Structure 1
């Protein structure tokens, strides 16, 4: 079970660090996306910081279970919020699916982190 937790946590960490850094660095595409969904660039930057912190928490949580559980729970909630934002904005399915997939994967990581605690 630990190997599955390790692999999923590592993959999610890569995804969330990539997404988070692009928000923190205010990549033009992210600024455009933020504004299209009613966020300021600064608030989107804060979301990016949460994504990076969650990624770090998933990895550190492999050795300290409470942090891994908290990080997976936080990322699941963050991505569920992203799904809601996409649905309310009536975005295309292709724009919403990544948030749905990351929500489900973060929830799976939560279950795995709990199982390994």
Structure 2
């Protein structure tokens, strides 16, 4: 079970680090797109910091599982927030924006599985 927890933690950490770093720096098309959709730059940066912190927590959580479980639970919260944002903006009904909006739906079960496998490996 521990091997699965490590694999899921590393994968989720890499995804969240890659997603959060541009938001923290407010550079690139994703932060600009979020700001264009009505999010303030402070909120975009806050989400980016939360994503980077989750990535660090998942990495450290490989050795200290309680932190990894908390970080995985935090990713679940961030992903639920992202899904609700996409629903509010109507992006699941628009074929032009649907592909990017599906990412949090795909990652949500991975985050839940990460938290559960880390908890089971205690």
Q: Structure 2 length normalisation: TM-score?
A: 0.89
Q: In structure 1, what is the equivalent of residue 103 of structure 2? A: 98
Q: How do 1:49-88 and structure 2 match up within 5 A? A: 49-88=49-88
Q: Deviations over 1:9-58 (max 9, x none)?
A: 11111110011101011124123222244211121011111101101111
**Hey, which of these two has a bigger chunk of helix by percent?**
1
Structure 2 Cα separation of the partners of residues 102 and 94 of structure 1: 13
RMSD: 1.2
Deviates more, 1:89-98 or 1:28-37: 28-37
- Is this contact kept in 1: 2:9–2:58, CA < 8 A? yes
- Which consecutive unaligned segments of at least 5 residues does structure 1 have? none
Q: Secondary structure at the match of 2:63?
A: coil
Are residues 1:32 and 2:26 paired? Answer: no
Q: Structure 1 length normalisation: TM-score?
A: 0.93
Count of residues in Structure 1 that have an aligned counterpart in Structure 2: 117
Q: Would you identify which runs of 4 or more consecutive aligned residues in structure 1 move more than 3 Å? A: none
- Which consecutive unaligned segments of at least 5 residues does structure 2 have? 92-96
Q: Deviations over 1:62-111 (max 9, x none)?
A: 11111011000010111011001001101132122101111121111011
